[in-house]
Amino acid sequence: MTTLDDLPIRADLRGRTPYGAPQKQVPVALNVNENTHPVPEDVAHDIVARLASAILTINRYPDREFGELRDRLAGYLGHGLTRDQIWAANGSNEVLQQILQAFGGPGRSVLGFPPTYSMHAIIASGTGTRWIDGTRDAGYDISPETAVREIERTRPDLVFFCSPNNPTGTPVSLETIAAAYDATDGIVVVDEAYAEFIPADQPTALTLLEGRDRLLVSRTMSKAFAFAGARLGYLAAHSAVTDALRLVRLPYHLSALTQAAAIAALAHADEMLAMVDDIKGQRDRIIVELERLGYAPVPSWSNFVLFGGVDDPHALFEALLERGVIIRDIGIEGHLRVSAGTEAETTAFLEAIAAVGRTPVAAKLNG
């Protein structure tokens, strides 16, 4: 029987494993940073109406330039952005892939700062772009000095920041992003997938776009908009960047149904985002309770919490799973990550981890 090893795949892909969190049917799934709140019913009805209208012309190709969607996204982001500065694709992963297809590739490199979103390195590999590990400061920070030092050391063609960072939840300061931009002639990408969860008084990298033509800020509707299943990611950048991405995108890459659903959701942005404050409240509750239980949660500006002080991450993961709660083992020694869910889901997680205790194997033996 033919196996993967028998196929003539690229040499640099041999031995690799695909991305993927465990997919298990459990009562409480808090492992992939989804927004676990359902879409409000009235919003769902409007989305269905938009989809029904789009179905009537589904025999035709979709708007290749997705003009109405770009207008809605520009209006949502504000900051004086126009449709020419907006790009969208099937999730922010495809946006990042298109960036690397246009500006990376064989003979080029991208600098990232682990621990960070694992798909950054995977997408780099898939596009033939060399991934370079940068170093972080204590507490998962990246100071302007550290960013500049790493850029000068590695001379990358692209620099990736994730802010707030996944899996740590920590921000990257605007000073660091600006310093990195000034230190390179290449592309600087700020992945702001969790931007809606930062403190309301804190600015985002969107405020840095003016006058920085090589700065790209990516976003997603998966998290704050509870739209993970719809697959809609986007970026804001200089209009020349969107021209570059047209060179590598597949024709009609955004379906008419995706465009219709996203437009309908954006029309209800205030209602869709009303759940964000609740999620932030549950996140902060997790931090407080985990500290009380003796763990070491990392301060988070996202919709999840990384926590240390775990003697045996695999054993704790399995013990929680047996109680119907799945979280994420992200491979950092002594740490696990949990998404902030609804109040009921958060309560279920906190009760389960309290019941397991700090020594889950002993707890299992004791029944």
- Which tens digits make up the pLDDT trace of 68-109? 999 999 999 999 999 999 999 999 999 999 999 999 999 999
Q: How far apart are CA 336 and CA 86, in angstroms?
A: 35
Cis peptide bond upstream of 115, omega within 30: yes
Distance CA(264)–CA(252), nearest Å, equals: 20
Write down all domains in the chain, each with its CATH number in brackets: 24-37+271-365 (3.90.1150.10), 41-267 (3.40.640.10)
Among residues 156, 195, 151, the alpha carbon closest in space to that of 172 is found at 195
Q: What is the pLDDT, as a whole number, of residue 6?
A: 87
Interval 297-354: pLDDT, tens: 999 999 999 999 999 999 999 999 999 999 999 999 999 999 999 999 999 999 999 9
> Quick check: pTM over 0.85?
yes
Segment 252-297, tens digit of pLDDT: 999 999 999 999 999 999 998 989 999 999 999 999 999 999 999 9
Around 72, how many Cα atoms within 13 Å sit in the side-chain half-sphere? 19
- State how far the Cα of 82 lies from the Cα of 73, in Å rounded to an integer: 9
Q: Are 223 and 197 in contact (CB under 8 A)?
A: yes
DSSP tag of 13: G
- 358 — pLDDT class (breaks 50, 70, 90): low
Q: Is residue 364's pLDDT more than 80?
A: no
If you ran DSSP here, which 8-state letter would residue 186 be given?
A: S
Burial environment of residue 31 by CB neighbours within 10 A (0 to 12, 13 to 18, 19 or more): buried
pLDDT of the residue at 30: 97
**Res 359 pLDDT > 70:** no
